[in-house]
Amino acid sequence: AIGRKINLILGETKSEVAKRTGRPIESIGEDEYDAVVIHGEELATMTDEDWDQIFHKPEVIFARTSPKNKLEIVNRAQSLGHIVGVTGDGVNDSPALKQSDLGIAMNISGSDVSKEAASMILLDDNFASITNGIEEGRLIFENLKKSIKYTVSHSVPEAIPQILYILVPFPVIIGALQIIAIDLGCDLLNALSYAWEPSESNESLMKLIPRNPVTMRSIMQLRERNERHAFEIDPETNKPYPKSTIKKIVDTIKGPFTRLFWQDITEKKYGDSLISGDLLLYGYIELGIIMTVGCFITWILVLRDRGLSLGLTRRMMKDGYFKDDSPTYNQDGKVFTQKHQIQYSREASTAYFLGVFFIQSFNLFVCKTRINLPFGRYMFKNKRTFLMLFLGAVVVMLISYVPPFNVVFVTSRYLKPIWWLVPLAFGVFLLAYCTVRILVLRRLKPIGMNPDITGLQMHPTICQQLKEQSVWQRIDAHFRNENYILILFISPSIHKASGTMSKNAKNSSEKDESQIIIDYLEKINRPVNATDIANSMQGTISKTNIQKILTSLADSGQIIGKQYGKQSIYCASQENIEIPSLDEAEEEEASIEELSNLISDLKAENSSLQSKFLRFRKNLKARVGGVKAWSQRRRIFYDIFGTITENFEGKPKDLAETLGIETDEDSNVDIRDF
């Protein structure tokens, strides 16, 4: 009821569908409703299949949950690959806050224990701050990707000249110090400017689908990976066993020699990553080729302007020219002194160096866009782009034309500025190419966006009046997808103007901590000390409180406590624990073995069904193709026959009989019936 009252649920639950359609609730299928409300006491009886069905629903509310229930909810969601965020303000929320990927505690109304367990604290207790943080995180990821995309682009035009210098050979096309100047003096500044890059649009960033959405395929892949690494996972905590530093080093060295290592490496990855195949394709292949060709053409044209063809340059380099001690070249009516050889090769090298900078300057704007075209007002929003570009230009011009920098970096101040036009033209070509590229990718590989959520209206539940779009609407809009789960554990203290805890609430928190420790002792059912419990709780309850609670529980007789010197050992009271008999233990072992055999049979059956499904899909695809071809040929025939019979004086049917044409309708045949 509370979920419907404050509009946390937009869709229909199973009972509401049954009420609307007038059918029994048992007859409602899983695909007929999209909202579900689960009470805490129901969680104990739920199977793995039930959990899978619940987390596939777009709207889920867990009500009246205990700390143990909350922790199980988080673990179950994480086991499917979801990124789980938990908000809470009480001591009973602490285990879930600690276990979640992002625990969010309340600063004003939250308890100290919840703040210690959480990863983040909302200073103003305002849920809208969560979406602001998500938006900032997405923007940082996008800008990092843009910066990497820009940075890797200059690698190919810097590497190819070194290969040509060795294999062809050619004179030095671009020197080592010039490469360092590009990497550290120009591209580093330009890449840093992406840190201040705004979002391409106000809405597109938060509408993007998750980078790694949870699907049935990803769930199956995750479960297969967990099965392979089952020996490394602690079944109690569902986390890897702790390893020493030496053990980690040994496993890292042994890894490449194990089958498990290569299975993990060769496993196909889905979703988006910081360094994707598209990024590497653009940086190393597409832009790498364009930039290398543009700079190399500039280099050739500068040499030809000085009377050095590509073939002549290659022959002279083979004969030992273009060096500080090379003789004067005087063949075929061409004379190049040692001074001319050095000057002309340096002019061409300077042209190549400037070409890399000019084309990268255009690439700086191209890498800004992923959704929009590289034109428009957005390209000028980041003022620091132009500042970094100006500083880079100053560095390049100093190195190229101002002594003594041109001596140190082996450049020539005699290069004519007219040669700048060649790389500038390639920069304009790069803009045009990337525009076409974005348009083609929009059609072939469109960027997925989450749909708008309409109809969500809110009433204020806190003292201040909510404005325009409600907090719940913003949270729901950004978390209703298949990858992110935000679990809100709302306590009554949030709905009060005062954030202080009353004395009764404090006593209740201490009682919850006592129950947590009792449950833990009953679960492990072995002797432990306060340090062991504190390590297992992972900071959820402080060690001092644990010692006090253990002493109090032992004095009251709820647990067993023994003193061994200075060491105090505690264990659960055995009166409340049912100890199975030997026969029952043997029955359990037999049951486990039977279930193991059943699992093996089911896996074999599943493999067989998958093979049958693949054959069926293949046959279905062939049948669909055949029906499509039949429909196309049928339509062509009727078009041609209709054209022929337009000026025919008799009936079209008579002409068909005369020509011996039989149609499907005449034979009462439809290929779709086969």
Q: pLDDT tens for residues 113-140?
A: 888 889 888 888 887 788 888 888 889 9
CATH class of the domain at 2-128: alpha beta
Q: Which residue would you say has higher pLDDT here, 567 or 155?
A: 155
Sequence-ordered list of residues with C-beta below 8 angstroms from that of 122, at least 6 positions apart, any chain: 87, 104, 105, 106, 107, 129, 130
Cα–Cα distance for residue pair 587/578, rounded to 1 Å = 16
Task: Report yes or no: 533 and 500 within 8 Å, Cβ to Cβ.
Answer: no
Read off the tokens for 349.
């090298």
Q: In this predicted structure, what is the pLDDT of residue 494?
A: 36
Cα–Cα distance for residue pair 322/343, rounded to 1 Å = 9
Residue 60 bridge partners (DSSP) = 36
Task: Report yes or no: 106 and 121 within 8 Å, Cβ to Cβ.
Answer: yes
Q: In this predicted structure, what is the pLDDT of residue 462?
A: 33
Cα–Cα distance for residue pair 439/433, rounded to 1 Å = 10
Q: For the segment 136-166, what is each residue's pLDDT rounded down to a tens digit?
A: 888 999 999 999 999 998 889 999 999 988 8
Residue 633: pLDDT band by 50, 70, 90 thresholds?
confident
Run of H or E residues at 147:
helix 128-151
**Across 557-582, average pLDDT:** 76
Read off the tokens for 663.
């149609």
Q: In this predicted structure, what is the pLDDT of residue 486?
A: 54
**Across 62-86, average pLDDT:** 87
Single-letter residue type at 474: R
Residue 241: pLDDT band by 50, 70, 90 thresholds?
confident
Q: In this predicted structure, what is the pLDDT of residue 295?
A: 94
**Across 613-620, average pLDDT:** 82
Q: In this predicted structure, what is the pLDDT of residue 541?
A: 81
Helical segments of 208-286, H only: 216-228, 245-254, 259-266, 277-280
Mean of per-residue pLDDT scores for the chain: 80
| pLDDT above 90 for 53 | no
Specify which of 200-204, 248-252, 458-462 reaches the highest per-range mean pLDDT: 248-252
Task: Report yes or no: 148 and 195 within 8 Å, Cβ to Cβ.
Answer: no
| pLDDT above 60 for 5 | no
DSSP string, 399-459: HHHSTTHHHHTT--TT--GGGGHHHHHHHHHHHHHHHHHHHHHHHHSPPPBPPP-------
What's the CATH code, domain 505-576? 1.10.10.10
Predicted TM-score (pTM) of the model is 0.62
Q: In this predicted structure, what is the pLDDT of residue 236?
A: 65
> Closest Cα to residue 495, out of 89, 138, 140?
89
Q: In this predicted structure, what is the pLDDT of residue 355?
A: 94
Rg (CA), the chain: 36
Residue 237: pLDDT band by 50, 70, 90 thresholds?
low
Run of H or E residues at 177:
helix 176-180
Run of H or E residues at 624:
helix 582-644
Cα–Cα distance for residue pair 540/512, rounded to 1 Å = 12
Residue 485: pLDDT band by 50, 70, 90 thresholds?
low
Q: For the segment 408-425, what is each residue's pLDDT rounded down to a tens digit?
A: 898 988 899 999 999 999
Cα 107–chain centre separation: 30
Q: Which residue would you say has higher pLDDT here, 137 or 666?
A: 137
**How distant, in Å, are the alpha carbons of 143, 278, 379, 447 from that of 372?**
15, 17, 10, 11
Residue 453: pLDDT band by 50, 70, 90 thresholds?
low
CA atoms within 13 A on the CB side of 93: 25
Instruction: Mean pLDDT check: name the lowest of 236-250, 465-479, 521-535.
Output: 465-479
Read off the tokens for 227.
């099965």
Residue 492: pLDDT band by 50, 70, 90 thresholds?
very low
**How distant, in Å, are the alpha carbons of 210, 528, 537, 568 from that of 540?**
30, 17, 5, 21
Task: Please report how the helices 338-366 and 155-167 are oriented relative to each other, as an axis angle in degrees rounded to 10.
Answer: 150
| pLDDT above 80 for 650 | no
Cα–Cα distance for residue pair 147/128, rounded to 1 Å = 29
Cα–Cα distance for residue pair 613/642, rounded to 1 Å = 43
Q: Hey, which bits of 82-155 come out as E strands?
A: 83-88, 102-106, 120-122
Q: In this predicted structure, what is the pLDDT of residue 452?
A: 63
Q: In this predicted structure, what is the pLDDT of residue 324?
A: 79
Read off the tokens for 84.
């789980």
Residue 238: pLDDT band by 50, 70, 90 thresholds?
low
Q: For the segment 286-332, what is each residue's pLDDT rounded down to a tens digit?
A: 999 999 999 999 999 999 998 888 888 888 888 888 887 788 887 77
Q: In this predicted structure, what is the pLDDT of residue 568?
A: 82
Task: Report yes or no: 431 and 362 within 8 Å, Cβ to Cβ.
Answer: yes
Q: Which residue would you say has higher pLDDT here, 431 or 486?
A: 431
**Cα diameter, the chain:** 118
Q: In this predicted structure, what is the pLDDT of residue 420?
A: 93
Own/partner contacts of 561-566, CB < 8 Å, gap of 24 or more, are 562/527
**Across 249-257, average pLDDT:** 87
> Closest Cα to residue 164, out of 298, 317, 284, 351?
317
Cα–Cα distance for residue pair 425/294, rounded to 1 Å = 9
The structural domains of the chain, with segments of one domain joined by +, span 2-128, 143-196+277-444, 216-266, 505-576, 582-673
* Percentage of the residues of the chain whose pLDDT score is greater than 90: 17
Fold of 143-196+277-444: Calcium-transporting ATPase, transmembrane domain (1.20.1110)
Cα–Cα distance for residue pair 486/629, rounded to 1 Å = 49
